[in-house]
Amino acid sequence: MQIQQNISLKPYNTFGIDATAKYFARFTSVDEIEQLFDSPFLKENEHPFIIGGGSNILLTLDYSGLVAKNEMHGIEVIKHDEKYVYVRVAAGENWHQFVLYCIDNNFAGVENLSLIPGSVGASPMQNIGAYGVEIKDVFYELEAFDINERQVSTFTVQECEFGYRESIFKRKYKGRHIITSVTFRLNKQPAFNISYGAIQQELDKMHIEELSIAAISRAVINIRQSKLPDPKEIGNAGSFFKNPTIPQSQFVSLKKEFPAIVGHPANNGVKVAAGWLIEQCGWKGYRKGDAGCHAKQALVLVNYGDAKGSEILALSTEIMKSVELKFGIMLEREVNIL
Ligand code: EPU
Protein backbone atom coordinates (compact mmCIF):
# COMPACT_ATOMS: atom_id res chain seq x y z
CA MET A 1 0.00 0.00 0.00
CA GLN A 2 1.36 3.34 -1.04
CA ILE A 3 1.61 6.18 1.49
CA GLN A 4 1.72 9.65 -0.08
CA GLN A 5 2.90 12.83 1.62
CA ASN A 6 1.45 16.35 1.79
CA ILE A 7 -1.74 15.60 -0.12
CA SER A 8 -4.55 18.14 -0.53
CA LEU A 9 -7.82 16.75 0.84
CA LYS A 10 -9.90 19.07 -1.37
CA PRO A 11 -11.11 16.25 -3.67
CA TYR A 12 -11.91 14.04 -0.68
CA ASN A 13 -14.39 16.25 1.22
CA THR A 14 -17.67 17.49 -0.25
CA PHE A 15 -17.20 20.91 1.41
CA GLY A 16 -14.21 21.26 -0.95
CA ILE A 17 -11.94 22.55 1.84
CA ASP A 18 -8.31 22.70 0.83
CA ALA A 19 -6.69 21.22 3.95
CA THR A 20 -3.55 19.09 3.67
CA ALA A 21 -2.85 15.64 5.08
CA LYS A 22 0.78 15.02 6.05
CA TYR A 23 0.31 11.36 5.05
CA PHE A 24 -2.38 9.83 2.86
CA ALA A 25 -3.24 6.24 1.91
CA ARG A 26 -6.09 4.26 0.37
CA PHE A 27 -7.11 0.84 1.63
CA THR A 28 -9.12 -1.84 -0.14
CA SER A 29 -9.17 -4.73 2.37
CA VAL A 30 -8.96 -5.64 6.06
CA ASP A 31 -5.35 -6.77 5.41
CA GLU A 32 -4.54 -3.26 4.28
CA ILE A 33 -6.21 -1.80 7.38
CA GLU A 34 -3.89 -3.97 9.46
CA GLN A 35 -0.92 -2.75 7.44
CA LEU A 36 -1.98 0.85 8.15
CA PHE A 37 -1.69 0.25 11.88
CA ASP A 38 1.83 -1.10 11.43
CA SER A 39 2.80 1.92 9.37
CA PRO A 40 6.01 3.72 10.40
CA PHE A 41 4.17 6.97 9.63
CA LEU A 42 1.97 6.59 12.70
CA LYS A 43 3.32 7.81 16.00
CA GLU A 44 2.85 5.58 19.02
CA ASN A 45 -0.84 5.27 19.98
CA GLU A 46 -1.83 7.38 16.98
CA HIS A 47 -4.66 6.18 14.72
CA PRO A 48 -5.22 6.99 11.06
CA PHE A 49 -8.14 9.30 10.35
CA ILE A 50 -10.56 7.39 8.13
CA ILE A 51 -12.39 9.15 5.36
CA GLY A 52 -15.24 7.64 3.33
CA GLY A 53 -17.18 9.85 0.93
CA GLY A 54 -16.05 12.91 2.95
CA SER A 55 -19.63 14.18 2.96
CA ASN A 56 -20.09 14.80 6.65
CA ILE A 57 -16.86 16.48 7.74
CA LEU A 58 -15.58 20.02 8.00
CA LEU A 59 -11.79 20.26 7.92
CA THR A 60 -10.69 23.26 9.94
CA LEU A 61 -6.96 22.44 10.11
CA ASP A 62 -4.24 20.70 8.16
CA TYR A 63 -3.92 17.14 9.45
CA SER A 64 -0.48 16.26 10.77
CA GLY A 65 -1.06 12.50 10.85
CA LEU A 66 -2.21 9.80 8.43
CA VAL A 67 -5.52 10.11 6.56
CA ALA A 68 -6.75 6.83 5.06
CA LYS A 69 -9.50 6.63 2.48
CA ASN A 70 -11.79 3.61 2.50
CA GLU A 71 -11.87 2.11 -1.00
CA MET A 72 -13.28 -1.31 -0.14
CA HIS A 73 -15.68 -2.31 -2.94
CA GLY A 74 -18.25 -5.01 -3.69
CA ILE A 75 -22.00 -5.66 -3.45
CA GLU A 76 -23.19 -9.20 -2.80
CA VAL A 77 -26.54 -10.87 -2.13
CA ILE A 78 -25.81 -13.18 0.80
CA LYS A 79 -29.21 -14.77 1.42
CA HIS A 80 -32.96 -14.63 0.71
CA ASP A 81 -36.00 -15.59 2.66
CA GLU A 82 -39.67 -15.30 1.81
CA LYS A 83 -39.92 -11.57 2.47
CA TYR A 84 -36.40 -10.24 2.35
CA VAL A 85 -33.15 -10.19 0.47
CA TYR A 86 -29.95 -9.58 2.43
CA VAL A 87 -27.27 -7.59 0.63
CA ARG A 88 -23.77 -7.08 1.96
CA VAL A 89 -22.11 -3.91 0.71
CA ALA A 90 -18.46 -2.99 1.17
CA ALA A 91 -18.02 0.26 3.10
CA GLY A 92 -16.24 2.14 0.30
CA GLU A 93 -19.16 1.84 -2.14
CA ASN A 94 -20.94 5.07 -3.01
CA TRP A 95 -24.31 5.31 -1.25
CA HIS A 96 -26.35 6.52 -4.22
CA GLN A 97 -24.84 3.89 -6.53
CA PHE A 98 -26.01 1.28 -4.03
CA VAL A 99 -29.53 2.82 -4.05
CA LEU A 100 -29.56 2.61 -7.87
CA TYR A 101 -28.42 -1.04 -7.70
CA CYS A 102 -31.41 -1.77 -5.39
CA ILE A 103 -33.83 -0.06 -7.76
CA ASP A 104 -32.46 -1.96 -10.77
CA ASN A 105 -32.91 -5.23 -8.88
CA ASN A 106 -36.29 -4.32 -7.40
CA PHE A 107 -35.02 -4.49 -3.79
CA ALA A 108 -37.20 -2.06 -1.84
CA GLY A 109 -36.48 0.08 1.22
CA VAL A 110 -33.79 2.61 0.33
CA GLU A 111 -35.55 4.53 -2.50
CA ASN A 112 -36.43 7.43 -0.14
CA LEU A 113 -32.70 7.73 0.61
CA SER A 114 -31.77 8.48 -3.01
CA LEU A 115 -29.03 10.97 -3.82
CA ILE A 116 -27.61 11.28 -0.31
CA PRO A 117 -23.91 12.01 -0.81
CA GLY A 118 -21.33 9.80 0.88
CA SER A 119 -20.26 6.21 1.25
CA VAL A 120 -22.10 3.12 2.49
CA GLY A 121 -19.65 2.79 5.40
CA ALA A 122 -20.52 6.24 6.70
CA SER A 123 -24.28 5.67 6.47
CA PRO A 124 -24.72 3.87 9.83
CA MET A 125 -22.42 6.29 11.65
CA GLN A 126 -25.08 8.98 11.75
CA ASN A 127 -28.04 6.75 10.82
CA ILE A 128 -28.67 8.74 7.62
CA GLY A 129 -32.26 9.63 6.98
CA ALA A 130 -34.53 11.49 4.60
CA TYR A 131 -38.19 11.64 3.59
CA GLY A 132 -39.48 9.49 6.43
CA VAL A 133 -36.90 6.67 6.23
CA GLU A 134 -33.72 6.06 8.21
CA ILE A 135 -31.03 3.52 7.51
CA LYS A 136 -31.94 1.67 10.73
CA ASP A 137 -35.22 0.64 9.01
CA VAL A 138 -33.32 -1.51 6.48
CA PHE A 139 -30.20 -2.29 8.47
CA TYR A 140 -29.35 -5.94 9.26
CA GLU A 141 -25.78 -5.91 10.56
CA LEU A 142 -22.35 -4.43 9.96
CA GLU A 143 -18.77 -5.49 10.24
CA ALA A 144 -16.16 -3.17 11.66
CA PHE A 145 -12.46 -3.38 12.40
CA ASP A 146 -12.00 -2.80 16.11
CA ILE A 147 -8.89 -0.67 16.50
CA ASN A 148 -8.30 -1.68 20.13
CA GLU A 149 -8.71 -5.40 19.55
CA ARG A 150 -7.25 -5.38 16.02
CA GLN A 151 -9.99 -7.66 14.75
CA VAL A 152 -13.27 -7.49 12.86
CA SER A 153 -16.46 -7.60 14.94
CA THR A 154 -20.13 -7.77 13.93
CA PHE A 155 -22.82 -5.37 15.18
CA THR A 156 -26.56 -6.06 15.08
CA VAL A 157 -29.13 -3.31 14.78
CA GLN A 158 -29.60 -3.20 18.59
CA GLU A 159 -25.85 -3.03 19.17
CA CYS A 160 -25.56 0.02 16.89
CA GLU A 161 -27.87 2.01 19.25
CA PHE A 162 -29.31 4.05 16.41
CA GLY A 163 -31.06 7.35 17.13
CA TYR A 164 -31.83 10.49 15.15
CA ARG A 165 -28.52 11.08 13.27
CA GLU A 166 -26.85 9.02 16.01
CA SER A 167 -25.24 5.65 16.63
CA ILE A 168 -22.85 4.06 19.09
CA PHE A 169 -20.04 4.92 16.63
CA LYS A 170 -20.58 8.65 17.23
CA ARG A 171 -20.82 8.25 21.02
CA LYS A 172 -19.39 5.48 23.20
CA TYR A 173 -17.25 3.95 20.44
CA LYS A 174 -16.24 7.21 18.74
CA GLY A 175 -13.01 6.63 16.82
CA ARG A 176 -12.71 3.00 17.83
CA HIS A 177 -13.97 1.19 14.73
CA ILE A 178 -13.50 1.24 10.99
CA ILE A 179 -16.70 0.05 9.32
CA THR A 180 -15.78 -2.44 6.61
CA SER A 181 -19.19 -3.62 5.35
CA VAL A 182 -22.90 -3.11 5.95
CA THR A 183 -25.59 -5.73 5.34
CA PHE A 184 -29.06 -4.46 4.47
CA ARG A 185 -32.35 -6.33 4.72
CA LEU A 186 -34.40 -5.21 1.76
CA ASN A 187 -38.01 -5.98 0.95
CA LYS A 188 -39.01 -8.16 -1.97
CA GLN A 189 -42.48 -6.57 -1.83
CA PRO A 190 -42.24 -2.79 -1.57
CA ALA A 191 -44.01 -0.93 1.25
CA PHE A 192 -44.17 2.53 -0.28
CA ASN A 193 -43.52 5.44 2.05
CA ILE A 194 -44.77 8.64 0.44
CA SER A 195 -46.33 10.43 3.38
CA TYR A 196 -43.40 12.76 3.99
CA GLY A 197 -43.32 16.33 2.77
CA ALA A 198 -43.42 16.95 -0.91
CA ILE A 199 -43.15 13.38 -2.27
CA GLN A 200 -46.82 12.96 -3.20
CA GLN A 201 -46.89 16.43 -4.76
CA GLU A 202 -43.80 15.62 -6.83
CA LEU A 203 -45.28 12.27 -7.94
CA ASP A 204 -48.42 14.11 -9.08
CA LYS A 205 -46.29 16.57 -10.99
CA MET A 206 -44.50 13.64 -12.66
CA HIS A 207 -47.94 12.16 -13.66
CA ILE A 208 -47.08 8.80 -12.10
CA GLU A 209 -49.96 6.38 -12.60
CA GLU A 210 -48.44 3.28 -11.06
CA LEU A 211 -46.34 3.75 -7.97
CA SER A 212 -42.93 2.04 -7.98
CA ILE A 213 -39.65 2.34 -6.10
CA ALA A 214 -38.12 3.82 -9.26
CA ALA A 215 -40.78 6.56 -9.31
CA ILE A 216 -40.24 7.37 -5.63
CA SER A 217 -36.49 7.51 -6.15
CA ARG A 218 -36.97 9.88 -9.10
CA ALA A 219 -39.31 12.09 -7.03
CA VAL A 220 -36.81 12.26 -4.16
CA ILE A 221 -34.00 13.09 -6.60
CA ASN A 222 -36.10 15.91 -8.09
CA ILE A 223 -36.94 17.35 -4.67
CA ARG A 224 -33.34 17.17 -3.44
CA GLN A 225 -32.01 18.73 -6.65
CA SER A 226 -34.49 21.57 -6.37
CA LYS A 227 -33.30 22.73 -2.95
CA LEU A 228 -30.02 21.12 -1.98
CA PRO A 229 -26.79 22.32 -3.62
CA ASP A 230 -24.85 19.71 -5.64
CA PRO A 231 -21.48 19.33 -3.86
CA LYS A 232 -19.81 19.07 -7.29
CA GLU A 233 -20.89 22.67 -7.93
CA ILE A 234 -21.05 24.26 -4.46
CA GLY A 235 -19.20 22.72 -1.53
CA ASN A 236 -21.46 21.53 1.31
CA ALA A 237 -22.10 18.65 3.70
CA GLY A 238 -25.89 18.54 3.62
CA SER A 239 -27.63 19.64 6.81
CA PHE A 240 -25.02 21.32 8.98
CA PHE A 241 -27.16 21.18 12.13
CA LYS A 242 -29.60 18.66 13.58
CA ASN A 243 -33.25 19.53 14.02
CA PRO A 244 -33.41 20.15 17.79
CA THR A 245 -35.95 18.49 20.08
CA ILE A 246 -37.38 20.83 22.70
CA PRO A 247 -39.85 20.24 25.57
CA GLN A 248 -43.52 20.50 24.65
CA SER A 249 -43.98 23.40 27.12
CA GLN A 250 -41.22 25.42 25.44
CA PHE A 251 -42.77 24.75 22.03
CA VAL A 252 -46.18 25.93 23.25
CA SER A 253 -44.78 29.25 24.48
CA LEU A 254 -42.70 29.75 21.32
CA LYS A 255 -45.79 29.04 19.21
CA LYS A 256 -47.57 31.93 20.97
CA GLU A 257 -44.80 34.32 20.07
CA PHE A 258 -43.98 32.80 16.64
CA PRO A 259 -47.19 31.18 15.31
CA ALA A 260 -45.44 29.98 12.11
CA ILE A 261 -42.77 27.92 13.93
CA VAL A 262 -42.45 24.44 12.35
CA GLY A 263 -42.39 21.44 14.71
CA HIS A 264 -43.33 17.75 14.77
CA PRO A 265 -44.01 15.54 17.80
CA ALA A 266 -40.90 13.54 18.73
CA ASN A 267 -40.08 10.93 21.38
CA ASN A 268 -39.54 13.33 24.25
CA GLY A 269 -40.88 16.65 23.03
CA VAL A 270 -41.18 18.48 19.74
CA LYS A 271 -38.65 18.32 16.92
CA VAL A 272 -38.29 21.82 15.51
CA ALA A 273 -37.20 22.62 11.93
CA ALA A 274 -33.77 24.18 12.39
CA GLY A 275 -33.93 25.52 8.81
CA TRP A 276 -36.93 27.65 9.83
CA LEU A 277 -35.20 28.98 12.98
CA ILE A 278 -32.09 29.92 10.98
CA GLU A 279 -34.14 31.55 8.24
CA GLN A 280 -36.02 33.65 10.83
CA CYS A 281 -32.69 34.93 12.12
CA GLY A 282 -32.02 36.29 8.64
CA TRP A 283 -29.21 33.95 7.57
CA LYS A 284 -30.78 32.33 4.51
CA GLY A 285 -28.76 33.37 1.47
CA TYR A 286 -26.15 35.14 3.66
CA ARG A 287 -22.59 35.15 2.33
CA LYS A 288 -19.34 36.35 3.85
CA GLY A 289 -16.32 35.79 1.61
CA ASP A 290 -16.80 32.28 0.26
CA ALA A 291 -18.68 30.94 3.30
CA GLY A 292 -22.45 31.09 3.22
CA CYS A 293 -25.86 29.84 4.19
CA HIS A 294 -27.65 28.26 1.22
CA ALA A 295 -30.33 30.43 -0.37
CA LYS A 296 -32.84 27.56 -0.77
CA GLN A 297 -32.25 25.60 2.47
CA ALA A 298 -30.96 27.50 5.48
CA LEU A 299 -29.84 24.30 7.24
CA VAL A 300 -27.09 23.84 4.67
CA LEU A 301 -23.86 25.83 4.94
CA VAL A 302 -21.87 26.22 1.74
CA ASN A 303 -18.39 26.90 0.44
CA TYR A 304 -18.60 29.01 -2.73
CA GLY A 305 -14.97 28.23 -3.63
CA ASP A 306 -12.10 29.02 -1.36
CA ALA A 307 -13.64 29.26 2.10
CA LYS A 308 -11.50 27.93 4.92
CA GLY A 309 -13.02 25.39 7.27
CA SER A 310 -12.47 27.84 10.11
CA GLU A 311 -14.62 30.45 8.28
CA ILE A 312 -17.50 27.99 7.89
CA LEU A 313 -17.10 27.00 11.53
CA ALA A 314 -17.15 30.66 12.62
CA LEU A 315 -20.31 31.24 10.56
CA SER A 316 -21.94 28.22 12.19
CA THR A 317 -21.09 29.63 15.64
CA GLU A 318 -22.66 33.00 14.74
CA ILE A 319 -25.80 31.20 13.54
CA MET A 320 -25.99 29.15 16.74
CA LYS A 321 -25.63 32.28 18.89
CA SER A 322 -28.37 34.16 17.06
CA VAL A 323 -30.80 31.20 17.19
CA GLU A 324 -30.16 30.88 20.92
CA LEU A 325 -30.71 34.58 21.46
CA LYS A 326 -33.97 34.75 19.49
CA PHE A 327 -35.54 31.40 20.40
CA GLY A 328 -33.63 30.13 23.45
CA ILE A 329 -32.73 26.96 21.49
CA MET A 330 -29.16 25.61 21.28
CA LEU A 331 -28.52 24.07 17.88
CA GLU A 332 -26.22 21.08 17.65
CA ARG A 333 -23.88 20.57 14.70
CA GLU A 334 -24.53 17.43 12.68
CA VAL A 335 -21.29 17.59 10.69
CA ASN A 336 -18.08 16.26 12.26
CA ILE A 337 -15.51 18.98 12.84
CA LEU A 338 -11.86 18.06 12.43
N1 EPU B 1 -37.55 25.25 6.43
C2 EPU B 1 -37.60 26.61 6.41
N3 EPU B 1 -36.52 27.28 5.90
C4 EPU B 1 -35.46 26.64 5.39
C5 EPU B 1 -35.42 25.22 5.42
C6 EPU B 1 -36.49 24.54 5.95
O7 EPU B 1 -38.54 27.23 6.87
O8 EPU B 1 -34.53 27.31 4.92
C9 EPU B 1 -38.73 24.51 6.95
C10 EPU B 1 -39.54 23.97 5.77
O11 EPU B 1 -40.52 24.85 5.38
C12 EPU B 1 -40.14 22.70 6.33
C13 EPU B 1 -39.19 22.28 7.42
O14 EPU B 1 -38.31 23.36 7.66
O15 EPU B 1 -41.37 22.95 6.89
C16 EPU B 1 -38.43 21.01 7.06
O17 EPU B 1 -37.63 21.26 5.91
P18 EPU B 1 -37.11 20.06 4.97
O19 EPU B 1 -38.21 19.16 4.59
O20 EPU B 1 -36.29 20.67 3.90
O21 EPU B 1 -36.21 19.17 5.91
P22 EPU B 1 -35.17 19.50 7.06
O23 EPU B 1 -35.80 19.15 8.36
O24 EPU B 1 -34.63 20.87 6.91
C25 EPU B 1 -34.25 17.05 7.13
C26 EPU B 1 -32.91 16.35 7.08
C27 EPU B 1 -32.39 16.29 5.66
C28 EPU B 1 -33.40 15.55 4.79
C29 EPU B 1 -34.74 16.28 4.88
C30 EPU B 1 -35.84 15.53 4.17
C31 EPU B 1 -31.88 16.79 9.24
C32 EPU B 1 -30.80 17.50 9.98
N33 EPU B 1 -31.97 17.04 7.93
O34 EPU B 1 -34.03 18.41 6.74
O35 EPU B 1 -31.20 15.54 5.67
O36 EPU B 1 -32.97 15.49 3.44
O37 EPU B 1 -35.14 16.38 6.27
O38 EPU B 1 -36.15 14.37 4.85
O39 EPU B 1 -32.63 16.02 9.84
C40 EPU B 1 -28.84 15.77 5.89
O41 EPU B 1 -28.94 15.18 6.97
O42 EPU B 1 -27.72 16.13 5.44
C43 EPU B 1 -30.03 16.08 5.12
C44 EPU B 1 -29.98 16.79 4.01
Which residue in 26, 88, 165, 185 is the catalytic one? 165
Which residue segments constitute the domains of the chain, with CATH numbers given? 3-70 (3.30.43.10), 75-187 (3.30.465.10), 235-337 (3.90.78.10)
> What's the rounded Cα separation, in Å, for the pair 273 and 280?
11
> What's the rounded Cα separation, in Å, for the pair 76 and 89?
6
> What's the rounded Cα separation, in Å, for the pair 84 and 249?
42
Instruction: With CA atoms as reference, report the closest residue to 121 among 66, 186, 50.
Output: 50
Instruction: Kindly give the distance from the C-alpha atom of residue 160 to the centroid of ligand 1, in angstroms, as a whole number.
Output: 25
User: Which pLDDT tens digit goes with each residue over 44-53?
Assistant: 788 899 999 9
Residue nearest to atom 41 of ligand 1 (CA): 239
Enter the pTM of the model: 0.95
Residue nearest to atom 7 of ligand 1 (CA): 276
Helix (H, G, I), strand (E, B) or coil at 308: coil
Does ligand 1 lie within 6 Å of residue 243's CB atom? yes
Residue type, 199: I
Helix (H, G, I), strand (E, B) or coil at 139: strand
Region 170-176: mean pLDDT is 93
Please give the angle made by the CA atoms of 324, 328 and 334, to the nearest 5 degrees. Answer: 55
Q: Band the pLDDT of 196: cuts 50, 70, 90.
A: confident
Does ligand 1 lie within 6 Å of residue 276's CB atom? yes
User: For residue 191, what pLDDT is reported?
Assistant: 92
Check whether 142 has a pLDDT greater than 90: yes
Check whether 43 has a pLDDT greater than 90: no
Instruction: Kindly give the distance from the C-alpha atom of residue 2 to the centroid of ligand 1, in angstroms, as a whole number.
Output: 41
User: Which pLDDT tens digit goes with each residue over 263-275?
Assistant: 999 988 999 999 9
Nearest atom, ligand 1, residue 273 CA: 14
Pocket test for ligand 1, best of 56, 227, 299 (most atoms within 8 A of CB): 299
User: Which pLDDT tens digit goes with each residue over 288-319?
Assistant: 999 999 999 999 999 999 999 999 999 999 99
Does ligand 1 lie within 6 Å of residue 162's CB atom? no
